Amino acid sequence: MSWVPPDLATLCQPHIKSTSCSPSTVLFLQLISQLFGYSPDQSFSSTYDSLFGQPGSQTSSYDTFFGNAGSQSSLYDFFLGPSNSFDSTGSSSAIFGKQVFQQKQTEEEYDFIIVGAGSAGCVVANRLSEIKNWKILLLEAGIEEPYVADVPAFPPFLQESNIDWRYRTQPEKRSCRALLNGGCGWARGKVMGGSSTINYMIYVRGNPRDYDEWAEMGNEGWSYNEVLHYFLKSEDNEDHDILKQHPEYHHKGGYQTVERFPYQDYNIKALIEAWLELGYPNIDLNAAESQLGVMLYQHTSRHGERLSTNAAFIRPIRRKRRNLSIRTQAHVTRVLIDPRTKHAFGVEYIRDGETKIRTVRARKEVIISAGTINSPKLLLLSGVGPRKQLEYFGIQVVRDLKVGENLQDHVTIRDVVIYLNKTAITASEEERLEDLKKYQQYRNGPLSSTGPLQVGVFTVTEYAEEKDLPDIQFSFDALSVGDYITNPTLEPNAQPLAYYDSLNVRPIVLRPRSRGRILLNTTDPVWGAPLIYPNYFADPRDMETLVAGIRQGLQMLFTKSFRHVGAQLVDYPVPECENYEFASDDYWRCLATFYTSTIFHPVGTCKMGPSYDPDAVVDPRLRVHGIKNLRVIDASIMPVITRGNTNAPTIMIGEKGSDLIKAHWLHKSEFN
């Protein structure tokens, strides 16, 4: 299956006038799809298809079972009725009704089953398959990683495409009110590599204090000094000056290459110089020194191409390790857990286009690495979660745990826009084609970077808990001022990050005090998107921190560097906030309420904590409390969100989780 770009016909209604909706953009997307839509790993899927049949659409298999009877009661009958139980052999009794149960099932057995080939799952699959006599199965709901994901300037094309789960938050009174259906879009990768395949590739580990706090909460082994080894283990740092300056905090030779992009336009220099003028030092955010300052980011890329965890950890070994099996377009519907012994012994999954459940048994462990949204969903469908919610759906309660709670995200804002009067980076259609050709040939030029998103700034406001630790991170998004004025709500902005005439200045709340939750979809708990309640700004201090961050960000306008580029704040109040004085604190509060945004860092829904923590789902060894041979290894285990982008910490969690598994099974007597 190939990459399918966002459906601009759906996103762009007739009244919307935007470069993202122009005929030239549509043609450019079609060209991108033809040139970059396929995957270098397509041959692996072809081998699977020859064995198991050609993939079809998920909808057709759904219709086979339900037709038009999509009511909640029919879902109870087919999916989650009272007969949702297990016999002693692990056979499924009712998830998809008698039709499916009566089909002969192909049952396989592996030592370890990993659900989800994302930022953590790919790492775990690599590290466990190092043990030659272990047999590993990696199941991924999405397709193979397409070439289009390699191009650093193309992340806006990946959102809302077929490699994005396309989740949206539920309507809430404090946030996202002007956006589609009153919810914020939460892009999550549905593809080999998961969200590391569609993100903006920023490599930030967080602050050392983050991990020390985890340890102080009772999570033995998770202090900064103990996890630093795992950051270094993965890293292959290509920037010699950073290696030389801080050799104790960086490493060369790991699977995950990190580097600065090979291309920076003029505005990158202007951004850095503006913050230097404001008194912020130029720092290495990943060294254990002060995190307050400005940096030209490093990214999870290699020589101008994205390097997802799939590209870094799976491609180098996929043809070499015969003990690792990978299946894409495989939707796991539940973990099989014996309700008497509380022992996880396998999973059930359906592959796109098939109409029968496949059962796979695990001799040693099932490892859930499906991410902050889908890991709790899978646990809930498997009978692990809050009793009240499980009983509502008729799911047998195997273990009453606070699955789906403790949701945290780095909230930010849209539409604080600075116009660059003298240094707009624009390109004609012919110039874009030339840039595309240059990228294909040399992996250089404007498409080999993420534009102004290469610059990161970490600051502290008066609302910070500790004055030497940042509570705001700045992101600078490429934007067309015309698009903002004509339609400030358009999602996504389907333009390469290389071309822009304005900056969307986003202060990001690094230590949100608000907590949300994730629930099963009440209409369709199995196939339906989980209900996401981020609960942004439930704690008013988050709003005040954000507003303070906006004030800090706009200080750039008074620097010599920004006066030189003719920068000016776009004085164009959104309709919902016209009653407030533009650029006043009340205006910014209103804007944050209606035009809330995220940089896609959800964590915490399977919280790590010791047995005495009533909110914990997994223990410090990432084992689900009260369930044998079941672990969660991904960003959902974070008890508190890290100060910075979450992809690098998730890779670290995959590395450490893999070692915890090896320690248990290779030296079992020492860890019982």
Answer yes or no: are the C-beta atoms of 198 and 187 closer than 8 Å. Answer: yes
Helix (H, G, I), strand (E, B) or coil at 569: strand
**Tokens 């030029």, residue?**
445
The tally of CA atoms less than 13 A away on the side-chain side of residue 481 is 17
How long is the chain? Answer: 672
Asked whether residue 258 is marked as a ligand-binding residue, the answer is no
First to last CA, the chain: 44
C-alpha triplet 570, 574, 579: angle, nearest 5°: 110
**Tokens 């404090």, residue?**
174
Distance CA 428, CA 422 (A): 17
Distance CA 488, CA 12 (A): 13
Six token digits for residue 405: 């709670």
335 to 339, 352, 371, 523: CA distances (angstroms)? 12, 18, 15, 21
Distance CA 597, CA 417 (A): 14
Residue-by-residue DSSP string for 138-202: EE-SSBPPPGGGG-TT-HHHHTTSTTB--EEBPPBTTB-TTSGGG--EE--B-BTTGGGGTS--B
Residue 69 CB neighbours (<10 A): 11
Sign of torsion, CA 190 637 167 418?
negative
CA dihedral of residues 315, 321, 327, 333 (deg, nearest 10): -110
Is 601 in the active site?
yes
Distance CA 638, CA 630 (A): 17
Distance CA 58, CA 527 (A): 9
Asked whether residue 100 is marked as a ligand-binding residue, the answer is no
Question: Which of 601, 642, 549 shows the shortest CA–CA distance to 207?
Answer: 642
Six token digits for residue 390: 């499980």
Six token digits for residue 17: 């006038």
Question: Which of 648, 652, 598, 602 shows the shortest CA–CA distance to 204?
Answer: 648
Q: Where are the alpha helices (DSSP H) in 206-299?
A: 208-216, 224-234, 240-245, 266-277
Strands 235-237 and 256-258: parallel
Whether residue 492 is preceded by a cis peptide bond, meaning omega within 30 degrees of 0, is yes
Question: Which of 251, 46, 14, 250 shows the shortest CA–CA distance to 144?
Answer: 46
- Catalytic residue (choose from 299, 601, 625, 664): 601
Residue ranges at the known binding site for FAD: 191, 332
Residues belonging to the active site: 601
